[in-house]
Structure 1
Amino acid sequence: MIPQVRTTLEVRHYEPSASAVWNAFIDQSANGTFLFRREFMEYHADRFEDHSYLVWRKNELVAVFVAGRSRTSSIPTTLVAHPGLTYGGLVYATELKYALLEEVYDALFTAFRADGFTSLLVKPVARVFCRQPAEASLFYFHQQGFALQRRELNSVIDLTQPLRISKGRKDNVRKARNAGVTVAMSNDFSEFWPLLVANLWQTHGVRPPHSEAEIRLLQQQFPDNIQLYVARYAEAVVGGVLLFLDAAHGFVHTQYISANEQGKQVGAVDAIIAQVLTDVQGVFPRFSFGISTAEGELNAGLLAQKEGFGATVELIDTYEKAF
């Protein structure tokens, strides 16, 4: 049972008039990435109803809570942090002490109840995306009896250390180079996106969460945070890697990785990853290679490819709590 306590904190619903205050807080926070800036959160407002909160102590904003609800949700009393993003939940200032964090959560749960919610589903921001260690929420979840609803396996490379690329991956990069594969950054999604859509559908029976129009819009709004690398063979795009980058929070993340059959044969993805790692090492401290799990099942071949570039495992968990 989440305790109901009296607090000096004030919880307010997010309103558009608070967008500048919200964005400024996200930019300086311990664990709020550019995905939480309002311009990014609202590109798919037609699909997701925002239910985010700001937590104030007098005139000081101490935390925000990133959450929402799908407009077609079958369980409208479940608050999801966040249904339209990779992760969500509590975002707080770098100096927030644990005792205050407990007060923040207690005040938030009071607000959740008042808004008619009866449960919370939350995937906290993973360590790799945080400016500084930000796992205090996990201890609070443990203390309050949150249930582990899902566990995913992410691969991470420490870019402050020398790269450790296996012989097999180096051979693949060499094969791509010998075949005449070239790798370059590109803002032209017209060749890569159909390739990505086709590959995801043929391999997994799914479509990418972003449409080509959506990713074009986001890249125009966040040109420093969204970059596409493509591999060309015989002048055609045969593979690509779309990156999310956040210099303030110190990470590069592979949001989409894909190649067609020809690209797979000539080692296009390995060639791109090798080039990306060369470009970002010394600029960013951490590289997130993405998850190698689907519905809790491990894709061993995908994980092995990432480990071949020196990646190690980091868990990304989702928690649930009825209240």
Structure 2
Amino acid sequence: MNDINIVRYKVSNYGEWNQFVAKAKNATFLFHRDFMDYHKDRFHDFSLLVYKKNKLIAVLPANVLNEDLYSHQGLTYGGLVLKEQIKFDAVLRVFMELLKYLSIAGFKSLVLKQMPVIYTRVFTAEIDYLMFILKADLFRKDTLSVIDLATNRVNISSNRLEGCRRAIKHNLVVKEEGDFELFWDSILIKNLKEKHNAKPVHSLEEITLLKKCFPNNIRQFNVYDNDEIVAGTTVFETEFVAHSQYISGNENNNAKGSLDFLHHYLIKEIFKDKMYFDFGTSNENNGLNINKGLQFWKEGFGSRTVTQDFYKINVNNYHLLNNVFI
């Protein structure tokens, strides 16, 4: 008898979903429905809830694109979100039933954007092992620049410290702000347009809305020179990690060291009690290349490499999981 039941997310599941991700072993506030749904008009949501004997044991934040189901494309990371107490054999059963469900529903592939290990409450490498058994295609691998704050081995380079000294010499000041308008309109939008011909992933209206929903998780720090903004970063704060979601400074950053000064302050003061500080990726071209200058700057603060994996699974391969245990 199959005691696993999988259903699509509905608005009526809002409370149950959020209560589950709050206690899951590999979830952050990004999986709260208020975060997922702020851009629901951009994605065809096909999130799933997995029950065992009517108890919720896993959820999959996901969206449909063509004939594939994606670990939600509107999120930095995702994958199968699991209850903290779950054991390997149950994870295997859940994943097999999930692939079988998707196969019957007519999907060709499941595309997973795995959560980097620094964000998890408990080890979650079961899925990585199952990817091996399922002959999944590891089609992308990003590198994150992460400082291990818990070991107190933050070795900041002389270049970054010199930038801090320049900032102090020019009397720069760091302030945490409650709104994002000044940073977005004066620094971020302009720089992304000029350097990358791109826009922020979040519009000003969207990041403002998210701040209202998650006031303790989304924080803005600006650097000022005589009350004029010269740099800033938007930080997404989770249980173990402070992540710089956006980092940008004006054309005088190198001369006055504003970004060096800002991040030295965040690492040494504001987030010193976190386990990790995540500068994010320096990858381009779907992970195949790394921006060398950006990587060099991040590593100057003592960050080292953590990877994030992206898998594509043929959903019809679920039968390969039948023979794992002997």
TM-score when normalising by structure 1: 0.93
In the alignment, which of 167, 170, 174 is matched to residue 176 of structure 1?
Answer: 167
Q: State the AA in 2 paired with 1:220.
A: K
Question: In 2, distance between residues paired with 1:243 and 1:50?
Answer: 26
- 8 Å CA contact retained: 1:226, 1:243: yes
Q: Which runs of 5+ in 2 are unaligned?
A: 316-326
Q: Which runs of 5+ in 1 are unaligned?
A: 1-5
Question: In 1, distance between residues paired with 2:34 and 2:283?
Answer: 29
2:26 corresponds to 1:34: no
- Per the alignment, residue 249 of structure 2 pairs with 259
RMSD (Å), alpha carbons: 1.3
- Per the alignment, residue 64 of structure 1 pairs with 59
Q: Say which SS state the counterpart of residue 203 (structure 1) adopts.
A: helix
- Per the alignment, residue 156 of structure 2 pairs with 165
Once the 2 structures are TM-superposed, how far is the Cα of residue 282 of structure 1 from its aligned partner? 4.5
- 8 Å CA contact retained: 1:7, 1:103: no
In the alignment, which of 268, 279, 287 is matched to residue 278 of structure 1?
Answer: 268
In the alignment, which of 276, 291, 316 is matched to residue 308 of structure 2?
Answer: 316
- Per the alignment, residue 235 of structure 2 pairs with 243
In the alignment, which of 284, 290, 300 is matched to residue 298 of structure 1?
Answer: 290
In the alignment, which of 281, 293, 299 is matched to residue 307 of structure 1?
Answer: 299
Question: In 1, distance between residues paired with 2:181 and 2:278?
Answer: 25
- Per the alignment, residue 229 of structure 1 pairs with 221
- Per the alignment, residue 176 of structure 2 pairs with 185
2:76 corresponds to 1:86: yes
Q: What count of residue pairs does the alignment treat as equivalent?
A: 311
Q: State the AA in 1 paired with 2:179.
A: D
In the alignment, which of 91, 105, 111 is matched to residue 95 of structure 2?
Answer: 105
Question: In 2, distance between residues paired with 1:34 and 1:185?
Answer: 21
Question: In 1, distance between residues paired with 2:232 and 2:125?
Answer: 33
Question: In 1, distance between residues paired with 2:28 and 2:173?
Answer: 31
Percentage of identical aligned residues: 34
Runs of 4+ in 1 over 6 A off after TM superposition: none
- Per the alignment, residue 96 of structure 1 pairs with 86
* Offset from partner CA, 1:127-151 (integer Å, 9 cap, x none): 1111122221111011100011111
Q: State the AA in 1 paired with 2:90.
A: L
Question: In 1, distance between residues paired with 2:267 and 2:60?
Answer: 33
2:278 corresponds to 1:288: yes
Once the 2 structures are TM-superposed, how far is the Cα of residue 187 of structure 1 from its aligned partner? 1.6
Once the 2 structures are TM-superposed, how far is the Cα of residue 112 of structure 1 from its aligned partner? 1.3
Question: In 1, distance between residues paired with 2:308 and 2:98?
Answer: 23
- 8 Å CA contact retained: 1:252, 1:287: yes
Once the 2 structures are TM-superposed, how far is the Cα of residue 18 of structure 1 from its aligned partner? 1.0
- 8 Å CA contact retained: 2:163, 2:254: no
- 8 Å CA contact retained: 1:7, 1:107: no
Question: In 1, distance between residues paired with 2:79 and 2:204?
Answer: 27
Q: State the AA in 1 paired with 2:2.
A: T
- Per the alignment, residue 13 of structure 1 pairs with 8
